[in-house]
Amino acid sequence: MPPSASSAAASDSLAAYPWLPDIGPVDAAAAERTRAYLDTLTKPPGSLGRLEALAIQLSAITGSARPRVDSPAVVVFAADHGVAAEGVSAFPQEVTAQMVANFVQQGAAINVFARQLGARVDVVDVGVASPRPLPGATDARVRSGTANMLHHDAMPLDDARQAMQAGMAAVERAVQAGANGLIVGDMGIANTTASSAMLAALLGVPAAQVVGAGTGIDSTQQAHKAAVIERALANRQANPDDPLEVLCKLGGLEIAAMAGAYLAAAAHRVPAVVDGFIATVAALTACRMAPALCDYLVFGHRSAEPGHVLALEALAAQPLLALEMRLGEGSGAALAYPLLQAAAAMLSDMATFSQARVSGKAP
């Protein structure tokens, strides 16, 4: 996107959503300098492929010739979904709170992958349907789960805004504590239903095209899930051109918090790695609210959830990994994170042709 288009979009979003942080365009000059510098390093030009594009993006985001991403933080937002009552998940709702306890006790996949990165995991309750507070989690609960979108709007505007602000606050804490990279994850039984409904509304596609197995439902259950979503879409009539309305009518509190987290990370010029399906729907929503955001996001992986491909295409995003994972929690983003570190190390540690006295390309 040319800088003028991007800054116009940024100020448009500020006018529409004055409570969002101001996000300027990424640093095109820093990106250009890194693009040129990469060709002075001891490798055939372009031979490190998409790692080179990633290094350029890290320079564009941070404005630095030597971007640093050595101190990542993981934030997992947890919330429940009223639509779970429709039998759309393979697991019962209480698993959300139980997994929050597992995150706190360091036993989940994201804890294991975060440890490999030396990153702390902040588990933020923005809407779990359980007694509060959840020991060891950050209590930022807006309400105890959304309403069932089949019969009511998932949440009022004030709740969505509060959840987005909880996401921003979590990033603020991480950045103040020294984080220079963010891995954002989700936990919420039935949140693939909410994400699928949002995506179908935003893209104007049938639910059957975006629905998948989630935590592991079979094809009959998937047909039921798609039918529930179609009825919810008909009942809610969300305006596809109003991403905040789509979030309120069909979304979730952790989805709102993730959207806020991406926006806050971009405002701090800190790269945020987007995880799987739910995370990408949150990113799409945030990018529709503040188009300048998109250049600040790194897409970690392509999940096995079929709607993820459509969400990525809508963002023109190319994920780094494709491991057939469908876990959430930020697990795919955490596994991709070492690629950001490799891209940054390439810029800071590789010798140039002249330093290493290696001959350049033959004329």
Ligand X SMILES: O=C(O)c1ccc[n+]([C@@H]2O[C@H](COP(=O)([O-])O)[C@@H](O)[C@H]2O)c1
Ligand Y SMILES: Cc1cc2nc[nH]c2cc1C
Q: Which of 100, 140, 142, 135 is nearest to 121 (CA)?
A: 100
User: Residue 186 interacts with ligand X (CB under 6 A)?
Assistant: yes
Do the beta carbons of residue 74 and residue 279 sit within 8 Å? Answer: no
**Per-residue binding letters, 36-75, with ligand Y (x by CB under 6 A):** ----------------------------------------
Q: Which one, 62 or 96, has the nearer CB to ligand X?
A: 96
**Contact with ligand Y (CB under 6 A) among 73, 95, 247, 279:** 95
Dihedral pair phi/psi, residue 260, rounded to 5°: -65, -40
User: Residue 311 interacts with ligand Y (CB under 6 A)?
Assistant: no
Dihedral pair phi/psi, residue 233, rounded to 5°: -60, -40
User: Residue 57 interacts with ligand X (CB under 6 A)?
Assistant: no
Q: Is 329 a catalytic residue?
A: yes
Q: Give least dist CB 140 to ligand X, A.
A: 18
Identify residues 98-157 at the interface with ligand X (CB under 6 A). Answer: none
CA distance 198 to 248: 10
Determine which helix (DSSP H) or strand (DSSP E) holds 206, and give its type and residue range. none
Binding at 307: pick from ligand X, ligand Y, none (beta carbon under 5-8 Å per type): none
Q: What is the CA radius of gyration of the chain?
A: 20
Identify residues 197-226 at the interface with ligand Y (CB under 6 A). Answer: 215
Count residues near ligand X (CB under 6 A): 24
Q: Which of 93, 179, 105, 92 is nearest to 137 (CA)?
A: 105
Q: Count the Cβ atoms, other than its own, within 10 Å of residue 318.
A: 11
Q: Give least dist CB 360 to ligand X, A.
A: 44
Do the beta carbons of residue 127 and residue 147 sit within 8 Å? Answer: no
Binding at 210: pick from ligand X, ligand Y, none (beta carbon under 5-8 Å per type): none
User: Residue 327 interacts with ligand Y (CB under 6 A)?
Assistant: yes
Q: Give least dist CB 62 to ligand X, A.
A: 26
Which residues are CB-contacts of 138 (< 8 A; sequence separation ≥ 6)?
122, 123, 124, 125, 170
User: Residue 137 interacts with ligand Y (CB under 6 A)?
Assistant: no
Q: Which one, 110 or 290, has the nearer CB to ligand Y?
A: 110
Do the beta carbons of residue 138 and residue 123 sit within 8 Å? Answer: yes
CA distance 78 to 123: 7
Q: Euclidean distance between the first and final Cα of the chain, in Å? A: 34
CA distance 55 to 122: 27
Q: Give least dist CB 195 to ligand X, A.
A: 8
Q: Which one, 92 or 360, has the nearer CB to ligand X?
A: 92
**Contact with ligand X (CB under 6 A) among 13, 146, 165, 303:** 303
User: Residue 326 interacts with ligand X (CB under 6 A)?
Assistant: yes
Q: What is the Cα 243 distance to its own chain's centre? A: 16
User: Residue 248 interacts with ligand X (CB under 6 A)?
Assistant: no
Give catalytic residues, as residue numbers: 329
Which residues are near ligand X by CB under 6 A? 89-91, 186-193, 214-215, 275-278, 303, 305, 308, 326-329
Which residues are near ligand Y by CB under 6 A? 91, 95, 99, 187, 215, 327-329
